Amino acid sequence: MLGRARFEQCPPSSCGEVQRRSSARCCACGYSSLMASTCVQVNLELGHRATYRKKPTPEGFTHDWSVFVRGPEGNNAAHFIDKVVFHLHESFPKPKRAVKEPPYEVSESGYAGFLLPIEVYFKNKEEPRKVQFQYDLFLYTDMPVNNIRPERLTFNNPSEEFRRRLIKGGGVAVFPEDSSKMVSPALTGPPAQPLHRQHPAKDKGKIPKSSSTSSSKDGKTVSKEAKGPKEGKTASKEPKFSTKEAKNCS
């Protein structure tokens, strides 16, 4: 006598598709039962563009610049990003700039570079809810700047809802042996679901010197200083991710 086929509902609450219990992947949303024991990695790009003005502004500003956070290769990071907060130098009006819709970008004029803390808030109901980067907004006097700094975030067993948001935003589910070495970032509190950030290869060189009105360091919100490239070099190269062995993220 033939046994009856067993069916069950797809776990993600937003799907609810009924499928065969023996099926490894939902035909409606692509959810796999194997995802429950994996991490999710997603890439972001931090960067800035700057041009030297032909004539300074009445305030003495010599450069126009824009700083941004985005997903690489057209990936829509808005699926998992709630907002991005740029902490400009205190000499700018309203130095705390919150951007809640893409493009996550701030444009200003100035005459010197500075260290810029950037906070990325996630559409996550659990910890971690944000991660902070320290970005070096450097300027050149003899050439334009087009700098991109890649960042890879690894989420350890995120909730089903947040996992789906990460996948839609270009994230990839990985097993512990496939994930890269993890370094804990600055978070708002003790995370229930820890997030780790992998740093790309560091560029050699010193941070360009900055003027007094827009080049101070915000020591209250950042713990380490990011090193910038040497003056005179082009700023269009993208650093590569390191490929060290991973720790278990289960």
**What's the whole-number mean pLDDT along residues 81-102?**
98
Computed over every residue of the chain, the mean pLDDT equals 72
Domain 34-250 sits in which CATH superfamily?
YEATS domain (2.60.40.1970)
pLDDT, tens digit, for every residue of 7-47?
444 555 445 554 444 445 555 555 555 445 589 999 999 99
pLDDT confidence tier of residue 61, bands split at 50, 70 and 90:
very high
Indicate the Cα dihedral angle 226, 231, 232, 238, nearest 10°.
0
Per cent of the chain over pLDDT 90 is 52
Tens-place pLDDT, residues 185-242: 333 333 333 444 444 444 444 334 443 334 333 433 333 444 444 444 333 334 444 3
Residues 6+ apart with CB under 8 A from 232: 140, 142
| DSSP summary character for residue 176 | G
pLDDT class for 142, splitting at 50, 70, 90?
A: confident
Whole-angstrom Cα distance, residue 225 to residue 46?
Answer: 16
The per-residue pLDDT for 175 is: 80
CA angle (60 as vertex; 58, 61 as ends), nearest 5: 105
Check: pTM over 0.85? Answer yes or no. Answer: no
pLDDT of 49: 98
> Which range is least confidently modeled, 20-34, 54-68, 134-148, 191-205?
191-205
pLDDT higher for 59 or 192?
A: 59
Q: With contact defined as beta carbons under 8 Å apart, do 46 and 69 qualify? A: yes
Looking at residues 126-137, what average pLDDT do you find?
A: 97
Domain boundaries, the chain: 34-250
Residues in the chain: 250
Please check whether residue 183 is in contact with residue 131, taking contact to mean a CB–CB distance below 8 angstroms: no
- Among the listed ranges 17-26, 62-71, 117-126, 202-211, which one has the minimum average pLDDT value? 202-211
**Cα gap 151→199, rounded to integer Å:** 6
